[in-house]
């Protein structure tokens, strides 16, 4: 059986446009609109989706294709909520889903309604063909990724209340499978890890007094010095498996001077010198620093209530991100060593770092599919410096890969369009990724793969 990929791409685009036109801005979310739309599409195909409302208007939809049970399920999951959009700054209205100049424009086109539409289309195609599956395939479009915490209304809620609906050998979600240019080489990252989150408040305490008489026990001064020390020194170098794999593979892929520099960065003997030297002003430096260090970024400072009063407390807000293999306690020890043990450290939010092996048959299948559709592709493992809903599935025993394949046109700044004005997705690239994702899912779940 052959597939009419242009027609399937057009169908995917129609679903994407419909999803964009549903304003599921979070907060407040209203993802039930998307859940009901997707459930309607699935029911029209003879499937029996389950819509679960975690709170009024907060909807999640799940469906399952049954396999023989020879192997554990594969979970395809993505979120349908989006961040707000300032329509006055957009070339095309952010919730119109217009197709113009080879792109579908709109909030969520990349993050991540485009991927949800791809996953839906793969799911429908497997069902239409009636191909024998040796494992179940689960489709889940969920709420509340953009704002949700442990009490979220999407994956976190499903794991708490309906864990059996999500149990799988692996999950596929955002963010990987797209092409980046490294010294002219098309590099395709597959996300195998993400850093943990340690948000905290750091406080300095001192003796309040009249500001007309300066004193040494000034909490504002002590906190300012500690924050300056953090900015000047940062936290120590670490090399986790995901970063080592990415640096080694990318070094070999791009070769030349940049390849040599990346290789040196994977060697603890030379890494810090490389970041201070060769990569000092390089555009890759922030990302390379983040994947080889725990990071602590000051994002707020608060102190005082009156100009002529030295306050008793000064507070800094810190966005901390810890590498796989680093606990929250170990992260805080590193932070105290730089900022000072005499400060108060209050963790306000934490989630664990994640790491999935890139030495698995599924990873190999994804890499082979990318290379089959782009013979020049250099596939590398990748660690996300932010966080996804994968953090809620990990305690359930479901490891995830970030794999939402899409081929980008030259000069298309993919990552800068996330949460930005004029978010859009290339139609041709979305269709290219649809074929890749279908081949991976069909192949891994035991169906015969058709070209």
Residue-wise pLDDT tens digits, 10-32:
999 999 999 999 999 999 999 99
Hey, which residues does 351 pair with through a beta bridge?
197
The CATH topology of domain 196-351 is Alpha-Beta Plaits (3.30.70)
Bridge partners (DSSP) of residue 313 are 205
**For the chain, which residues make up each domain, given as ranges?**
5-175+388-444, 196-351
Query: Nearest-CA neighbor of 230 among 179, 297, 291?
Result: 297
Could you read off the pLDDT of 86-124 as tens digits, one per residue?
999 999 999 999 999 999 999 999 999 999 999 999 999
**pLDDT exceeds cutoff 90 at 331:** yes
pLDDT average, residue stretch 297-324: 96
Choose between 216 and 314: higher pLDDT.
314
For β-strands 354-355 and 185-194, DSSP reports them as antiparallel
Q: Per-residue pLDDT tens for 252-310?
A: 888 888 889 999 999 999 999 999 999 999 988 998 999 999 999 999 999 999 999 99
User: What is the SS3 assignment for 298?
Assistant: strand
Q: Decide if pLDDT at 398 tops 60.
A: yes
pLDDT of residue 2: 81
* Distances 337 to 19, 131, 182, 334 between C-alpha atoms, Å: 48, 58, 36, 5
DSSP 347: E
pLDDT for res 437: 98
Q: Does the structure show a pLDDT above 90 at 418?
A: no
Terminal CA-to-CA distance of the chain, rounded, Å? 8
Note if the pTM is more than 0.85: yes
Check pLDDT > 50 for residue 428.
yes
Say which CATH architecture domain 5-175+388-444 belongs to. Answer: 3-Layer(aba) Sandwich (3.40)
Looking at residue 413, its pLDDT comes to 80
Quick one: pLDDT at residue 181? 81
Sequence-ordered list of residues with C-beta below 8 angstroms from that of 41, at least 6 positions apart, any chain: 15, 120, 124
pLDDT value, residue 450 = 43
Q: What percent of the chain has pLDDT over 90?
A: 83
- Under 8 Å between Cβ of 316 and 201: yes
Cβ(107)–Cβ(420) below 8 Å: no
Average pLDDT, the chain: 94
pLDDT band of residue 447 (cuts 50, 70, 90) is low
* pLDDT for 419: 86
Cis upstream peptide for 119 (omega within 30°) = no
Structure confidence at residue 448 as a pLDDT band (50, 70, 90): very low
Question: Percentage helix, strand, coil, to 5, in the chain?
Answer: 35, 25, 40
Least trusted range by pLDDT, from 26-30, 168-172, 407-411, 440-444? 407-411
Residue 386 to residues 86, 156, 180, 316, Cα–Cα distance (Å): 23, 17, 18, 21
As a whole number, mean pLDDT of residues 211-239 equals 95
For position 1, what pLDDT does the model report? 60
Closest CA to 235 of 317, 349, 322: 322
Return the DSSP state at 395: G
Reported confidence tier of residue 449, pLDDT bands at 50, 70, 90? very low
Task: Using the predicted structure, report yes or no on whether residue 64 has a pLDDT greater than 80.
Answer: yes
Q: What is the pLDDT of residues 171-196, one digit of tens each?
A: 999 989 999 887 778 899 999 999 99
Determine contact, residues 257/318, Cβ cutoff 8 Å: no
CB-side exposure of 333: number of CA atoms within 13 Å? 5
Q: What is the mean pLDDT of residues 224-241?
A: 95
CB 172 within 8 A of CB 401: yes
At 378 the three-state DSSP class reads strand
Bond before 27 cis per omega within 30 degrees: yes
Most confident segment among 148-162, 270-284, 357-371: 357-371
Omega cis (within 30) before 28: yes
């Amino acid at each position: 059986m052959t597939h009419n990929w242009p027609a399937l791409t057009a169908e995917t685009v129609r679903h994407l446009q419909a999803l964009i036109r549903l304003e599921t801005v979070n907060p407040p979310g209203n993802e039930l609109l998307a859940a009901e739309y997707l459930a309607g599409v699935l029911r029209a195909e003879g499937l029996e989706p389950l819509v679960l409302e975690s709170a009024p208007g907060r909807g999640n939809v799940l469906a399952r294709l049954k396999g023989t049970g020879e192997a554990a399920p594969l979970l395809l999951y993505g979120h349908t909520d989006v961040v707000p959009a300032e329509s006055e700054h957009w070339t095309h209205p952010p919730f119109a889903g217009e197709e113009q100049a080879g792109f579908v424009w709109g909030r969520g086109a990349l993050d991540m309604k485009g991927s949800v539409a791809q996953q839906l289309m793969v799911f429908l195609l497997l069902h239409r063909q009636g191909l024998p599956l040796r494992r179940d395939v689960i489709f889940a479009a969920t709420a509340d990724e953009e704002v949700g915490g442990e009490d979220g209304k999407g994956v976190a809620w499903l794991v708490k209340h309906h864990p059996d609906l999500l149990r799988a050998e692996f999950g596929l979600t955002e963010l990987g499978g797209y092409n980046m240019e490294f010294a002219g080489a098309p590099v395709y990252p597959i996300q195998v890890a993400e850093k943990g989150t340690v948000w905290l408040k750091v406080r300095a305490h001192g003796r309040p007094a009249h500001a007309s008489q300066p004193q040494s026990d000034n909490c504002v001064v002590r906190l300012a010095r500690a924050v300056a020390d953090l900015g000047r020194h940062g936290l120590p170098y670490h090399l986790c498996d995901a970063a080592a794999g990415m640096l080694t593979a990318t070094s070999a892929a791009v070769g030349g001077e940049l390849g040599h520099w990346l290789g040196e960065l994977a060697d603890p003997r030379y890494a810090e010198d490389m970041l201070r030297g060769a990569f000092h002003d390089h555009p890759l430096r922030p990302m390379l620093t983040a994947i080889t260090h725990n990071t602590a970024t000051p994002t707020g400072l608060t102190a005082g209530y009156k100009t002529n009063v030295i306050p008793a407390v000064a507070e800094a807000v810190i966005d901390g991100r810890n590498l796989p293999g680093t606990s929250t306690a170990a992260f805080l020890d590193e932070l105290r060593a730089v900022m000072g043990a005499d400060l108060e450290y209050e963790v306000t939010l934490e989630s664990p770092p994640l790491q999935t092996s890139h030495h698995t048959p599924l990873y190999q299948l994804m890499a082979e599919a990318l290379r089959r559709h782009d013979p020049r592709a250099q596939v590398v493992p990748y660690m996300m410096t932010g966080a996804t809903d994968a953090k809620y599935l990990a305690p359930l025993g479901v490891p995830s890969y970030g794999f939402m394949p899409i081929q980008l046109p030259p000069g298309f700044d993919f990552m800068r369009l996330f949460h930005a004005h004029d978010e859009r997705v290339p139609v041709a690239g979305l269709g290219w990724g649809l074929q890749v994702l279908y081949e991976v899912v069909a192949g891994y779940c035991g169906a015969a793969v058709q070209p």
